[in-house]
Amino acid sequence: MEIMSPQNTRVKEWAGLQEKKQRDKARKYIVEGVHLVQEALLAEADVECLAYDLDKGMPAELKGLLQSVQGMEVIGVSATIISKCSSTNTPQPVFAIVRKEQQAVDAILAKKDSLVVVLDGVQDPGNVGTIIRSADAAGANGVILGQGCADLYNPKTIRSTMGSMFHLPVVEGDLSEILPQARERGALLVSTSLQGEESCYTHDFHGSQWLLIGSEGKGISTETARLVDKSIIIPMAGRAESLNAAMAATILLFEGMRQRGFNQTIIPVSAPK
């Protein structure tokens, strides 16, 4: 199938997915670029259609995946359409329209000795996406986005995850309901604070740990703070006043990974001669 006119009804629908209200209404979102489309296909996300630049052809990295995907349309389009549907100044030659799938928090709550990141009002989509990527890299069991966070399906958030949003559960929900449930199941709710009781490097990350990360300017909300079991501090040797949300979350996640016994043989790579 081919679509060449940017005035086509479907093209207008695709382009509209750059806006949150249209994503919410359609229950769909757009994924741009070879790598992210590849990750969506490999994760068996609910891809409605894949559109590619007819002049450039189907990217080689995707050709082998198309036969294994059922019920997905493959549509050749013009460069003008690619540009109209893109959120970047340099459009990628392929994008996919993906149906939203309801992620249930129950699976995260049921996980024993879970390591979970909880975001409370983190508004920057780049930070939200980076935290999801770090959670994936550190082997976390999930990420929960509370109210006031950047939209998971914002194109910038999606790009910043680098595909990690397809690798672990990411749930949007009400923290006032979810956090008490986590505590009832034995999770320790931990936040960072300049007045923290203990360094993140001496805090014991074993057991079920839910790491609460607040907004870049205000930290966690007053309501969420009331639920916190323990505040820890990230010690700094320099003169910086603080770290941004993504950096703080990454430090905690990797310290948690280290303490939990991650062990991998590192193969040294010789320097080029």
Q: Residue 171 in contact with residue 103, Cβ under 8 Å?
A: yes
100 burial class (0-12, 13-18, 19+ CB within 10 angstroms)?
middle
**Which residues, listed in sequence order, are joined to residue 147 by a DSSP beta bridge?**
none
| pLDDT score recorded for residue 20 | 96
List the structure tokens of 230. 């323990």
Pairwise CA distance, residues 158 & 44, whole Å: 16
Give the mean pLDDT of the chain: 93
pLDDT at 226 over 80: yes
Q: CA neighbours within 13 Å on the CB side: how many for 272?
A: 0
List the structure tokens of 123. 């508004």
Q: Per residue in 27-48, pLDDT tens?
A: 999 999 999 999 999 999 999 9
| pLDDT score recorded for residue 132 | 98
pLDDT at 251 over 90: yes
The band of 273, judged by pLDDT with boundaries at 50, 70 and 90, is very low
Q: Whole-prediction pTM value?
A: 0.92
DSSP class per residue in 174-198: -HHHHHHHHHHTTPEEEEE-TT-SE
Q: Per residue in 144-155, pLDDT tens?
A: 999 999 999 999
| pLDDT score recorded for residue 269 | 53
Location of structure tokens 């700094």 = 236
Buried b (16+ CB within 10 A) or exposed e, 127-150: bbbbbbbbbbebebbbbbbbeebb
Q: Residue 95 in contact with residue 32, Cβ under 8 Å?
A: yes
| pLDDT score recorded for residue 68 | 80
pLDDT at 263 over 80: no
Q: Per residue in 157-187, pLDDT tens?
A: 999 999 999 999 999 999 999 999 999 999 9
